[in-house]
């Protein structure tokens, strides 16, 4: 009996012993919706970052690792012809860019296929033409907003981005998708924090002072804002930092402190304190100048914003006889440049601060035919469409989650003549466009824009028309 128990214990011990890692090869078949390679091995689906369709790869499976890290890419045995050497030396560790190893022209092809893939889920969208993706002349250094967490690792202060699918920070000295000025700002802050021994915030203990550095750059006016995010309303030795930034960056217009004392996952706290310069920088959009404060939400790619505005103008051919309603109007980045050619513009946003900023931007640019309002979108939309507002053109620029069902229902009950839909998410865009087409809107074309090169993300513009659209009767 004792011998049987001993054998059973030995067997259980053997079963509990960690299995050794094993190597195997697999063929990558496709890129998934997030730009990650997918394949199969012995009937099991695999997801392998940094790989491309057609590639034969050598992998290691280690059951003792965390679940998301059990499969590790060892070698590319047969590389794809579309593979390029990623210019960023941190590419294999960082999770910020998913497809930097794919040639830029093939990135545009992948993004078009991604849009087509989501449309195919809706038979009513089968006849819609998807144009080639409008790319960037330079697919690097395009981001006008940079947010970098800081971390103390031993004696070093580091900043960077998080490793793919983890919460581990990768130290990055130079990011090729951020502006050159932003990279220089981060290096300067890092040197200053290390030299003056500024306490770096530790999210695990809740102790420390400096949490993040945020950089905002106006591409067309060459104005720069630097924001230090801290747990107190004062940062010691800020003047030496200011002098270093001024010596290295002639474009610096604003240095601010953002007070963020809590443990919230948001980057910015609610309160901003001006250390030096102006409280905002000016962003140029065509003839329009917009005020950009630390909290201002603004399109990340200024170059593509201009191209999207040009496409909207060609699609709707704005005239003084038209009244345009803009849902999710923000600070007026789309509405105000279009206002010059329209009779009236009405902007609606859920955020009161954004509506106030849009009104200020209209005042600064001497635009008197724009009206910006804040409140629940459904309520405001219902009031405007049911009142005698003469709305015949509606621009909707919803966030990634798309339009809510009651909004689409209202647009089917009180249709507008022309509806322009701009979306950063092909999945929710396809869902909404299918619902609008079922409601009687005509849709013929979709125009994708590469607003986020080196990533899987793509922005799409669609123009819909309704024969029963209210033209002011």
> Alpha helix locations (H) across 317-404?
335-339, 352-364, 377-386
- Specify burial of residue 153 (Cβ count, 10 A radius: 0-12, 13-18, 19+): exposed
Residues 6+ apart with CB under 8 A from 164: 49, 93, 94, 95
Q: In this model, does residue 15 exceed pLDDT 60?
A: no
* Interstrand relation of 442-449 and 129-130 (parallel, antiparallel or unpaired): parallel
pLDDT score for 8 = 62
Is the per-residue pLDDT at 231 higher than 80?
Answer: yes
Q: How many angstroms separate the CA atoms of 433 and 97, rounded?
A: 28
DSSP letters, 225-262, are: EEEEEESSS--TTHHHHHHHHHHH-TTEEEEEEEE--S
Task: Kindly report which listed range (332-341, 345-354, 379-388, 421-430) carries the lowest average pLDDT score.
Answer: 379-388
Cα–Cα distances (Å) from 427 to 27, 39, 184, 406, 458, in that order, read 27, 22, 37, 19, 11
Residue 439 vs residues 315, 435, 464, 468: alpha-carbon distances, Å: 21, 6, 11, 11
Give the pLDDT band of residue 163 (cuts 50, 70, 90): confident
Task: Report the mean per-residue pLDDT for the chain.
Answer: 92
Domains contained in the chain, CATH given: 18-83 (2.40.50.140), 109-137+301-465 (3.40.50.150), 145-292 (2.40.50.1070)
22: CB partners within 8 A, 6+ apart: 60, 61
**Residue 26 is encoded by which pair of tokens?**
């697999």
User: Please, which pLDDT band fits residue 85 given cuts at 50, 70 and 90?
Assistant: very high
Contact 470, 417 (CB under 8 A): yes
Q: Give the separation between CA 436 and CA 419, rounded to whole angstroms.
A: 10
Convert the pLDDT of each residue in 260-287 to its tens digit.
Answer: 998 888 999 999 999 999 999 999 999 9
Report field, pTM of the whole predicted structure over 0.85: yes
Decide if pLDDT at 73 tops 60: yes
């Amino acid at each position: 009996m004792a011998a049987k128990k001993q054998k059973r214990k030995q067997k259980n011990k053997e079963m509990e012993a960690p299995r050794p890692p094993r190597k195997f090869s697999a063929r990558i078949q496709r890129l998934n919706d997030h730009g990650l390679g997918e394949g199969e091995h012995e009937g099991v689906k695999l997801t392998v970052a940094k790989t491309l369709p057609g590639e034969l790869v050598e992998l290691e499976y280690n059951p003792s690792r965390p679940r998301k890290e059990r499969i590790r890419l060892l070698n590319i045995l047969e590389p794809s012809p579309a593979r390029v050497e990623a210019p960023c030396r941190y590419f294999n560790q960082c999770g910020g860019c998913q497809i930097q190893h794919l040639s830029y022209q093939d990135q545009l092809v992948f993004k078009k296929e991604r849009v087509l893939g989501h449309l195919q889920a809706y038979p009513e969208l089968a006849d819609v033409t998807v144009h080639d993706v409008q790319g960037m002349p330079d697919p690097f250094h395009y981001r006008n907003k940079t947010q970098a967490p800081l971390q103390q690792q031993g004696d070093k202060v580091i900043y960077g981005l998080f490793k793919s699918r983890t919460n581990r920070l990768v130290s990055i000295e130079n990011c090729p998708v951020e502006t050159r000025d932003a990279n220089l700002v981060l290096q300067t802050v890092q040197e200053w924090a290390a030299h003056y021994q500024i306490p770096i915030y530790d999210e695990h203990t809740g102790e420390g002072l400096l949490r993040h550095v945020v950089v905002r750059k106006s591409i067309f006016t060459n104005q720069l804002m630097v924001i230090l995010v801290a747990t107190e309303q004062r940062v010691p030795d800020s003047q030496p930092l200011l002098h270093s930034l001024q010596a290295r960056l002639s474009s610096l217009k604003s240095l601010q402190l953002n007070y963020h004392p809590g443990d919230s996952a948001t980057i910015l706290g609610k309160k901003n304190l001006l250390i030096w310069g102006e409280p905002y920088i000016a962003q140029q959009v065509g003839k329009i100048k917009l005020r950009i404060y630390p909290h201002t939400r603004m399109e990340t790619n200024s170059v593509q914003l201009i191209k999207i505005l040009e496409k909207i103008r060609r699609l709707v051919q704005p005239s003084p006889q038209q009244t345009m309603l803009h849902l999710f109007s923000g600070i007026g980045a789309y509405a105000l440049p279009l206002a010059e050619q329209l009779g009236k513009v009405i902007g609606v946003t859920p955020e009161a601060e954004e509506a106030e900023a849009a009104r200020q931007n209209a005042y600064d640019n001497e635009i008197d035919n724009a009206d910006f309002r804040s409140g629940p979108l459904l309520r405001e939309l219902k009031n405007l469409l049911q009142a005698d507002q003469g709305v015949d053109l509606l621009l909707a620029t919803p966030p990634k989650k798309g339009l809510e069902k009651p909004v689409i229902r209202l647009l089917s009950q009180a249709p507008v003549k022309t509806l322009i839909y701009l979306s950063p998410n092909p999945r929710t865009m396809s869902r909404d466009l299918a619902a609008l087409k079922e409601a009687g809107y005509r849709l013929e074309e979709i125009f994708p824009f590469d607003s986020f090169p080196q990533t899987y993300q793509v922005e799409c513009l669609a123009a819909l028309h309704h024969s029963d659209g209210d033209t002011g009767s």
